[in-house]
Structure 1
Amino acid sequence: MDTWLVTGGAGFIGSNFVQLVRRLKRARVINLDKLTYAGHLESLEPLHDDPDHLFVRGDIGNVELVFYLLSTYKVTTVVNFAAESHVDRSIDGPGDFVQTNIVGTFRLLDAARHYWNGLDGDAKARFRFLHISTDEVYGSLGPEGFFTESTPYAPNSPYSASKAASDHLVRAYHETYGLPTLTTNCSNNYGPYQYPEKLIPLMILNALEGKPLPIYGDGLNVRDWLYVVDHCEALLRVLESGRVGETYNIGGHNEKTNVDVVRTLCRVLEDLAPSRENPAMKATGARYEDLITFVPDRPGHDRRYAIDASKIARELGWRPQETFSSGLRKTVAWYLENREWCRKVTEGVYDRTRLGRA
């Protein structure tokens, strides 16, 4: 069995990916995560007794540690999820994003390059470095068109700028040193284990507590929504058959305005946890949708993202399995069943107040 080093594997997408890899028994996993506010061992609880999943607390910027893990466990693939990822936090504190997303990726790449250079024959030919990135590096679309793999980069937030820089470093390490890299740029993920600072889990928890559902600006900013397990399956397909040095866009084919997302979520909640039966709502007689509140927009808020995922469909045969309706219903059900997880990962760390006012 191959051994993969997965960085950021206790975060949202990373933990879903690691769980999928182990369910399918695709590889042994060395899971390296710094356990910042958004990385939690609770997200790896299903792997508690799995002997082929080893968790290591550490920083991708620690070159000695990374090289030790690569060489000791004879790693065949690096999958890099490690990143600061919340736009609002990048507005308040861009330094952490530069340090992790740019400097950290550089040091991870350098450790991987030195390790890969020391491999022989088939091991060297089979090695892969997969870097997971975002569609936000492309900037903002008008009312028409889609991001393709050849769209010029035009990041508008400190977060997206830091991810754009990391993407360029990955490309440079392939072009300059020959490191066998792959890069993916995905649309907005949602699903289990997403930290409640992001739109969908934040709205779920606020609604259940009868709190306002704040929507930035006019609520008409558009995002393409991708169910996290679909994303993880796409990543496996890229690792199996992706062409070295290539970039693949991964999207869910689910363009929605932010206000439509929240309204749809409220309807799902009414079905699964009716407001009339919710003690936090019964006193007022309000429905979840009545909690929607429009607030001043975020600085530099991109108007629309939309992914053209035809390349990965054409070359690798991947298409998302979940509609937005089916994926959102699964997501709401998960959060309803895992309120304790939400409490543990936010208690004393994040009170769901607004960030990123600039």
Structure 2
Amino acid sequence: MKEKKLIKGNEAFAMAAINAGCRYYFGYPITPQNEIPEFMSRELAKVGGAFIQAESELGAINMAYGAAAAGGRVLLSSSSPGIALMQEGISLLCSVQLPLVLINVMRGGPGIGSIQPAQADYNQVTKGGGNGDYHCIVYAPNSIQEAMDMIYKGFDVADEYRNPVIIAADGMLGQMMEPVVVPPARAAAEEKDIPLIKPYALTGHKCKRERNAINSVWLKQELLEDYINEYWPKYEKAEKELPEYVTKNLEDAEVVFVAYGSTSRVVLEAMEILARDGIKAGLIRPKTLWPFPKEAFKEIGASTAHVISVELSKGQMMNDVKLAIEGRYPVSLISRVGGMLLDPVEVADRTKTILEVM
């Protein structure tokens, strides 16, 4: 049996990134993710890495762009309004197809908002706040262990698809402590191997390779159209290969919840409360927010009368739920916003009210 360590979420996130071979971190302090840069500032140099606290989130994302362009494994982290400041850079990274992992420890908004946990960045990370045709691959962990595993895997996915990967955590996961199995440490790629692993990287003339250029400016629109059409199939491939989800008790459920992240843990307790009252409930938990796991909704049984999206936002995920449902069931919302959290009793009581007025 593998040894478990009791560790705080944010520190676990950083540890998983280092063990995945990340050697470059850029960020700027913002609550509730500050333990990530603190951990990186202390630990990254021990494995030969480089930590830079930028002058701003704008500086951080553009520094990360440079390190990714040179072939490094790069981690960025921030929280909601900080991610908002990075949107132009995220669009730029997608346009030039550079991989990195970005952790968003979400807090209440809009604007500066609160420093409490929230999920109101769903549209920001899945639909994109930057300009142009692109997607970010988005994972949504519901435990510290799952977050570590997703971060560890996320670097490989980012490299495979040459695309930013976002880990959509929240303040609750960042600040809580849980026992985890730490993923095994990998050796970082050596400089001499980067031209072979990442032939697009800007590694300098000494590597004796063809000249590389990383370009995001296309003055002739037909050339830009050709370029977008050339890279777009990777997103179609991602929609087929990357969706992940977990289901529970869908076969004979009267009501099916859809919830992700730490909110899904609240829903699991609410389901137990409803079961004691004779109401059978099921759950679909998306582990990827983009691509959204539409196939999961085909598993809903004939006994289901209602689907309820449970989230810490004003129904941002519910729009994707409705698209996946394709009008087969009525869809309702149970939510809190602004950093306010749901509790299992509230979810159960509000579910009963929804079912009574059907």
Establish whether TM, by shorter chain, passes 0.5. Answer: no
TM interval, shorter chain, is: 0.3 to 0.5
Max Rg structure: 2
